[in-house]
Amino acid sequence: MRNPGYWIFHYGLLALFVVFALFPLFWLFKVSITPNDLLYSEGVRIWPSRMSFDHYGAVLRHSDFPLFFRNSVIVSTLTAFFSTIFAAAGGYAFSRFTFGGKLWIVGLLLVTQMFPLVMIVAPIFRLLAPLGLTNSLTGLVIVYTAFNVPFAVFLMQSFFDGIPKELEEAAMMDGASRFQALLQIIFPLTLPGIAATLGFVFTAAWSELLFALMLNSSTAASTFPVGLLAFVSKFSVDFGQMMAAGVLALIPVCVFFFFIQRYLVQGLTAGAVKG
Amino acid sequence: MASIDIAAVRKSYGATPVLRGIDLTIANGEFVVLVGPSGCGKSTLLRLIAGLELIDKGEIRIGGRRVNDLPPKDRDLAMVFQSYALYPHMSVRDNMSYALRLRKTPKEKIAAALKGASAKLGLDALIERKPRALSGGQRQRVAMGRAIVRDPQAFLFDEPLSNLDARLREQMRFEIKKLHRDLGATSVYVTHDQIEAMTMADRIVAMNEGVIQQVGSPSDLYDNPANLFVAGFIGSPAMNFLQARTVAGPGGMSVTVGQAEIAKVPPATPTGPVVLGLRPERITLTAPGQGAQAAVDLVEPTGLGMIVHLDLDGQQLKTFTTERLPLKAGERVGLMVPPGSFCLFAPGTGERLAG
Closest CA to B98 of B131, B125, B65: B131
- Kind and range of the H or E run holding B106: none
Instruction: Tell me, yes or no, if B72 comes closer than 8 A to chain A by beta carbon.
Output: yes
The amino acid at residue A237 is V
Whether residue B83 and residue A164 make contact (CB cut-off 8 A), yes or no, is: yes
How far is residue B8's CA from residue B211's CA, in Å, rounded to a whole number? Answer: 11
Query: Which stretch of A46-50, A66-70, B76-80, B148-152 has the lowest confidence by average pLDDT?
Result: A46-50
pLDDT band at A266 (very low <50, low <70, confident <90, very high): low
Instruction: Tell me, yes or no, if B83 comes closer than 8 A to chain A by beta carbon.
Output: yes
Q: Does position B306 have pLDDT exceeding 50, yes or no?
A: yes
- CB contacts, 8 Å: A167 with chain B: 85, 87-88
Whether residue A170 and residue B102 make contact (CB cut-off 8 A), yes or no, is: no
CA distances from B7 to A206, B23, B43, B70, B216 (A): 61, 5, 17, 16, 18
**Where exactly are the structural domains of chain A?**
1-52, 62-274
Q: Does position A273 have pLDDT exceeding 70, yes or no?
A: no
Longest dimension (CA), chain B: 81
Q: Does domain B4-233 have CATH number 3.40.50.300?
A: yes
Q: What's the pLDDT score for residue B187? A: 95
Q: Does position A156 have pLDDT exceeding 90, yes or no?
A: yes
Average pLDDT over residues A148-177: 92
Nearest chain B alpha carbon to A170: B85
Instruction: Tell me, yes or no, if B178 comes closer than 8 A to chain A by beta carbon.
Output: no
User: Could you write out the DSSP letters of every residue in A220-246?
Assistant: GG--HHHHHHTTB-SS-B-HHHHHHHH
Taking only the tens place, the pLDDT of each residue in B67-77 is 999 999 999 99
Taking only the tens place, the pLDDT of each residue in A88-141 is 999 999 999 988 899 999 999 988 888 888 888 899 999 999 998 988 999 999
Asked whether B294 and B330 are in contact (CB, 8 A), the reply is: no
- φ and ψ at B6, to 5 degrees? -120, 125
Q: What's the pLDDT score for residue A176? A: 94
The mean predicted confidence, pLDDT, of chain B is: 92
How far is residue B335's CA from residue B104's CA, in Å, rounded to a whole number? Answer: 67
Q: Which of A96, A174, A189 to mutate to test the interface with B (most CBs of B within 10 A)?
A: A174
User: What residues form DSSP beta bridges with B300?
Assistant: B307
Pairing of strands B260-264, B77-80: unpaired
**Where exactly are the structural domains of chain B?**
4-233, 240-349
Instruction: Tell me, yes or no, if B151 comes closer than 8 A to chain A by beta carbon.
Output: no
pLDDT band at A268 (very low <50, low <70, confident <90, very high): low
Q: Which CATH superfamily is domain B240-349 in?
A: Nucleic acid-binding proteins (2.40.50.140)
User: What residues form DSSP beta bridges with B244?
Assistant: B274
What single DSSP character describes residue B227? B
pLDDT band at A272 (very low <50, low <70, confident <90, very high): very low
Angle at B220 between CA B215 and CA B222, to 5 degrees: 105
CA distances from A229 to A9, A62, A121, B24, B93 (A): 41, 16, 19, 76, 58
User: Could you write out the DSSP letters of every residue in B297-324?
Assistant: EEEEE-SSSEEEEEEETTEEEEEEESS-
Give the percent of chain B with pLDDT over 70.
100
Rg (C-alpha) for chain B, rounded Å, is: 24
Alpha helices in B201-322 (DSSP H): 218-223, 228-233
Asked whether B205 and B170 are in contact (CB, 8 A), the reply is: no
pLDDT band at A275 (very low <50, low <70, confident <90, very high): very low
User: What residues form DSSP beta bridges with A70?
Assistant: none
Cβ under 8 Å to B: A residues 147-206: 164, 166-167, 169-178, 180, 185, 188-189
Taking only the tens place, the pLDDT of each residue in B124-163 is 999 999 998 898 889 999 999 999 998 899 999 999 998 8
Nearest by CB: B72 against A166, A167, A172: A172
The amino acid at residue B203 is R
For B4, other C-beta atoms within 10 Å of its C-beta total: 23
pLDDT band at B14 (very low <50, low <70, confident <90, very high): confident
Q: Which of B89, B96, B100 to mutate to test the interface with A (most CBs of A within 10 A)?
A: B89
How far is residue B131's CA from residue B13's CA, in Å, rounded to a whole number? Answer: 34
Q: Which CATH superfamily is domain A62-274 in?
A: MetI-like (1.10.3720.10)
Closest CA to A176 of B196, B43, B51: B51
Q: What's the pLDDT score for residue A267? A: 55
How far is residue B46's CA from residue A45's CA, in Å, rounded to a whole number? Answer: 75
